[in-house]
Amino acid sequence: MTLLDDFLVRAILAGIGLVLAASPLGCFVVWRRMAYFGDATAHAAILGVALALAFSLSIFAGVLAVALAMALTVSSLAGRGFAMDTLLGVMAHSALAFGLVAVSFVPGVRVDLMAYLFGDILAVGKADLAVIWGGALLVLVLLYWRWSALLTATLNPDLAMASGISPKREQLILSLALALVVAVAIKVVGTLLIAAMLLVPAAAARPFARTPERMALAATGIGTLAILGGIEGAFALDTPTGPTIVCVAALLFAVANLARILRPQAAR
């Protein structure tokens, strides 16, 4: 019996793999105020599940294809006069609804929709673990390769243009990374909670980070604590693991912001 035969070890490794990809990317989502963008891409994942089942493809491939299509569609519509918050809200909820309806039409397939909506990290197998860590490493390599250009395009698009960096290209790279994270995360926390794991650790790290790099590292640490605390809490309280992980992340966010508020008062 190897260490990976223990379902709890696989669950922890899957969660850490997700955090390694989602936390640095989540910092860009926070900096660019792309929360709705993450929601729209994540909610489209259910449609990817339906298409994968209908055409006998792997769930990862179906989710990645649809998430990437949604991300590219949203990126292409940005800055063209659309009210983006409204458009993204419509696309997010429409994609989720069409996906749920499409799953019901797939013949001869019984699907546990709860597992795809809220994740089933305790059921992660060795093959899932390979997909999660493979996707996470791809995202990390992509972010490492484009980190400087992505930061410049995020913080000052005019300076990026003057430096020969295309903000539109960097937006597409972020879209690709986001689609990869969605495809990786669906098994861990499900489509409804993916955006939370992108946003909450990064938002919790923001008050204590003096540099973008430190914020990414702090977000990764907070995300890891949320994974470990969520799995432990789910066992202790007999609650769904995916939502419990997000609850722990939300508590860490609350503690971080409370500490930020109290710190200036203590200094006086």
Report domain extents, the chain: 3-192
Residues 132, 188 contacting (CB under 8 angstroms)? yes
pLDDT at 111 over 70: no
Percent of the chain at pLDDT > 90 equals 29
Give the pLDDT of residue 137.
Answer: 94
Give the pLDDT of residue 72.
Answer: 78
pLDDT at 187 over 90: no
If you count DSSP H runs as helices and E runs as strands, how many of each does the chain have, helices first? 12, 0
Give the pLDDT of residue 101.
Answer: 85
Give the pLDDT of residue 214.
Answer: 92
Gap between the Cα atoms of 3 and 131, Å rounded? 18
Residues 177, 136 contacting (CB under 8 angstroms)? no
Helix residue ranges per DSSP H, 57-163 = 59-77, 84-105, 113-118, 126-155, 157-162
Gap between the Cα atoms of 170 and 28, Å rounded? 11
pLDDT (average), residues 83-105? 79
pLDDT at 225 over 70: yes
pLDDT at 94 over 90: no
Give the pLDDT of residue 134.
Answer: 92
pLDDT (average), residues 107-113? 65
Give the pLDDT of residue 83.
Answer: 62
Please give the class, per CATH, of domain 3-192. Answer: mainly alpha
Residues 194, 185 contacting (CB under 8 angstroms)? yes
Give the pLDDT of residue 119.
Answer: 82
Token pair 């035969």 in the structure block, residue = 5
Give the pLDDT of residue 205.
Answer: 92
pLDDT at 71 over 90: no
232 pLDDT tier (thresholds 50, 70, 90): very high
